[in-house]
Chain A
Amino acid sequence: MDKLAQRLREDASRIDAQLSPQLEERLRASLENITQEQPMAAPVRPGRSFWWASSLTGVAATLLLIAVVNLSPQNPEPAVTEPPPPQQFVAQFDWRLQPAVLTQTLEQELVAIQSDLKKVRQVVRDDIGQVVVDVPAGQAAGTDTEPRQNP
């Protein structure tokens, strides 16, 4: 043994580690009051019979399912799919249309209608605050025009 190891051993033995009687008593008392933990029981591995039982159960369940599917009626009555009458879903509008009553010549009537149309446009413009395409008088019959820029 070399010198360093020898000295380490000697110096270790020079450390006084005598247990006091009080500590001895403490250790004894604490051990008396401790209950040992019991090892946990190892999980029981399923045996061969368990494997067979589970397999047979699976097979039986499969056969039962096949039987139920095959023994049910082959041609079940189709579900009623006749659509309801369309009137049920179409909204009925009340157009409040009135026939035109001509009291003047056609040209005057046209001017009056255009004037009314202009007023209505103005009302609509004021109501919704949107840009409404102003159709020139001569194209009131529905010809498409470029939208006029709002000033």
Chain B
Amino acid sequence: MSNESALIAAAKQGSVSAFTELVGVYREGLFRFLLTRAPSYADAEDVLQDTMINAYRYLHSYDARWRFSTWLYRIALNNISRVQGAPADDAVDVADLGDEEGGPLEQCILASEKENLWVTARRVLSHEVFTAMWLRYAEDMSVNDIAAVLERSISWTKVNLMRARKQLDDELNRVPRTSEAYG
């Protein structure tokens, strides 16, 4: 029995410390993901808390055939969709993006010369495709696991990952911004 399985078994018996240790591995990555999706920093914190509570409360329903992180992200995605007040597959409204410059993602990006590609991704991709890209490239999840998290088919996941990559490539190769062009 692996360490994770042992922790899950102990947490199912009601051990909070085992559960804390179990989710400790994923907590920071999950919070990072929530920061990219939540409307505000406080919302990201709330959703993280709700996700932990739901995961602990309904741990008995966890199916060991799936990775624990897959299950955890599924719960987080449900919670974040509730906070956003829209289904997870709603496209980003480009017209509203001007207000998001001060969002949690921008606040938490460490200083760099280049624009963070995830900010661009959030601007050009729908919530669902953005999530697929995040799980693939930030969390190294397999396509099967991403499909499970999004409750989509594997072919849908593959196709949309490819399209998202092309969209990001196109966006990166576009004419540079005015400030850069005029130096």
Contacts and interface: CB of A to CB of B under 8 A. Distances in A.
B117 interface: yes
B112 A14 contact: yes
A39 B60 contact: yes
Interface in B91-124: 105, 108-110, 112, 116-118, 121
B35 interface: yes
Contacts of A34: 53, 56-57
Contact of B52 (A5, A15, A18, A27): A27
A36 interface: yes
A96 interface: no
Contact of B116 (A15, A30, A31): A15
A39 B110 CA distance: 44
B141 interface: no
B19 A12 contact: no
Interface residues of A, number: 26
A8 B108 contact: no
A17 interface: yes
B61 interface: yes
Contacts of B48: 23, 27
Contacts, number: 85
B108 to A, nearest CB: 5
A7 B61 CA distance: 37
B90 interface: no
Interface residues on B, range: 35 or more
A15 B116 CA distance: 9
Contacts of B12: 36
A4 B14 CA distance: 43
Nearest to A23: B45
B181 to A, nearest CB: 22
A37 B60 CA distance: 7
Interface stretch (B1-9, B63-71, B131-139, B144-152): B131-139
The 7 closest A-B pairs by CB, nearest first: A17-B32, A12-B138, A8-B137, A39-B60, A11-B117, A17-B31, A16-B108
